[in-house]
Amino acid sequence: MSKKIKLKAGEKVLFGGTAIFIVLAIIGYVILETVRLTSDKPLFEVKTHFDLSKLGHKGSAVFRASRCTSCHRAMNNGTNMGLSLDGIGSKRTQEWILTFLMEPEKTYEARTLDHGLRPKEAAYVARMPKDDLVAIAAFLYDLKSDPGSSTSPQPPPGKSPFIDSMIKTWAPEDWKEKYTDIRDKDPVENSSNSDKTQTRED
């Protein structure tokens, strides 16, 4: 006859807690996968796009050959650990990007971590041949973002209850007189603005 092992109170709490945790994790995973598989919208929408110029194509090859992807992501490739450069062309000008690559510490708004002088890890970037950096800057400038993306100056099209609630909670009252809500602007004007951010300078 098998003898039942009696658990102590502390062991019951420990095993019970672990079991509940595992069950909740499994339920969460099943829900997430069900939503992901049945939803017609992708879970993570891609809100960036690119249309490479000739120089941009060259820059993309130089970018990949120059180990930039060990710290960056571009065109949805590269590491997730560092700074994503997708959409940077809607946030920065081509000149800013080039100047940053050549003189990072003078250009960046904050103290740089990796770009700059040796022994910083990306110090080699500023010493690359200028032609390569010009091509990379053209490539990065071709990486644009869609309205509503974190790198886009344009809000998402249509009304967003989330943005409304954030403004209500966080924007001080006097901002309403000082600033106009970019979403209240004439949609034609808005779209021509977004066209402006998309124009290419090459």
* Residues binding ligand HEC (CB under 6 A): 63, 66-68, 70-72, 82-83, 85, 88, 92, 97, 100-101, 108, 112-115, 121-122, 125, 136, 140
In total, the chain counts a number of residues equal to 202
Nearest to ligand HEC of 36, 67 (CB atom): 67
Residue 85 beta carbon to ligand HEC: minimum distance, rounded to whole angstroms: 6
**C-beta neighbour count of 195 within 10 angstroms:** 9
Q: What is the rounded CA–CA span in Å between residue 103 and residue 105?
A: 6
Cα 40 from chain centroid?
23
Q: Which amino acid is at 102?
A: M
Residue 122 beta carbon to ligand HEC: minimum distance, rounded to whole angstroms: 4
Tell me the two tokens of residue 202: 């090459």
Nearest to ligand HEC of 78, 146 (CB atom): 78
For residue 101, what are the contacts with CB-CB under 8 A and spacing of at least 6?
A: 115, 125, 126, 128, 133, 136, 137
Nearest to ligand HEC of 113, 167 (CB atom): 113
Residue 50 beta carbon to ligand HEC: minimum distance, rounded to whole angstroms: 15
Cβ distance 79 to 73 under 8 Å? yes
Residue 133 beta carbon to ligand HEC: minimum distance, rounded to whole angstroms: 8
Nearest to ligand HEC of 7, 61 (CB atom): 61
Residue 156 beta carbon to ligand HEC: minimum distance, rounded to whole angstroms: 21
Cis status of the peptide bond prior to 119, with omega within 30 of 0: yes
Nearest to ligand HEC of 83, 182 (CB atom): 83
Q: What is the rounded CA–CA span in Å between residue 77 and residue 74?
A: 5
Q: What is the rounded CA–CA span in Å between residue 70 and residue 85?
A: 12
Nearest to ligand HEC of 65, 171 (CB atom): 65
Residue 19: phi, psi to the nearest 5?
-60, -45
